[in-house]
Amino acid sequence: MIKVAISQKPPAILDLKGSVALAVKLIQEAANNGAKLIVFPEAYLPGYPTWIWRLRPGGDIGLANEIHTRLRENSVDVNKGNLDPIAQAAADNRIVVVIGAHELESEFSGSTLFNSVFVFDADGSLLNRHRKLMPTNPERMVWGCGDASGLKVVETAIGRIGCLICWESYMPLARFALYSQNIDIYIAPTWDNGDTWIASMNHIAREGGCWVLSTATAMTGADIPADFPGRSTLFENDEWINTGGAVVVKPFGGILDGPLHREKAILYSDIDIDAARNARKSLDVAGHYNRPDIFQLHVNRNACPPVEFIECK
């Protein structure tokens, strides 16, 4: 059995350094409680952009631009070592870390943001970076579209882990791309919550024959900092902006632990990795229940290159 930890505690909104420091403390806390894996919510560094669902389309452009500037300045730049403290905490505590972040693409445009999830092994090595394939609805005002270079399952100290972010879990081909890589633990950092989302996690656990771990950030208006642009008009102190919903679902379906609601806490659970492969005896959608003679999935895992400019003479 392996103990896993799923955090739904809020970050320091629009404060990358503060959010990284909080993440390091939570990694240490989880490890001290015996966890070998800790999962953070979607865009934890430095917080999901919940304001995009509240700004008036076309009516709050100035405010939206001000917030986005702050966000860009506090997004993760891998080339600058912003995630080094996370890697070090993983290594120091011998724990696998899965953490979501706003990622700044600094090599080419220097301004595009991606919704990314990073997987660090228990030795601190970065095993995978997956960028959300398709930002949902107004999220496209914040993030660019990712590619499939990170659409893979990786071998970690505790088992084979694959990640899809939020509504990517409603993309059947993306799910199958993970199922077809001998997945043990399917991790779904999200902003969604509630009965419909939990039902979807149950479906995925049954469909994929794998453990499913998911969480959103449990956050109230009081977690929004006082200097947040437009705070007084966008948020109320006593409102629950998101109730969380950290959950662990067994292979082939059925909730093992959670979901946590309205608790800024860590959910702990003991899971048996071997249960995933055992569950696929009855239904193996990428194996004996597959029909490769009829259905074939081709995934372009090449990283999207920058636009090549050709000088005309």
Is pLDDT of 139 > 80? yes
Catalytic pick from 132, 168, 210, 250?
132
Count up the domains in the chain and report the number.
1
Catalytic pick from 9, 36, 163, 166?
166
| CATH code at position 127 | 3.60.110.10
Active site residue 132: yes
Active site residue 250: no
Is 169 within the bounds of a domain? yes
Q: For residue 165, what are the CA distances in angstroms to 77, 130, 159, 161?
A: 19, 9, 19, 13
Partners of 102 in the β-ladder: 115
- pTM of this structure: 0.95
In tens, the pLDDT along 64-117 reads 999 999 999 999 999 999 999 999 999 999 999 999 999 998 877 788 999 999
In tens, the pLDDT along 23-56 reads 999 999 999 999 999 999 999 999 999 999 998 8
Is 113 within the bounds of a domain? yes
Is 313 within the bounds of a domain? no
User: Exposed/middle/buried for 237, CB within 10 Å: 0-12, 13-18, 19+?
Assistant: exposed
Active site residue 42: yes
> What token pair was written down for 99?
């953490």
In tens, the pLDDT along 216-271 reads 999 999 999 999 999 999 999 999 999 999 999 999 999 999 999 999 999 999 99
What pLDDT score was predicted for residue 133? 97
Catalytic pick from 9, 42, 105, 210?
42
180 lies in which domain range? 2-279
The amino acid occupying position 228 is: F
* CB contact set of 81 (below 8 Å; sequence gap of 6+): none
Is 76 within the bounds of a domain? yes
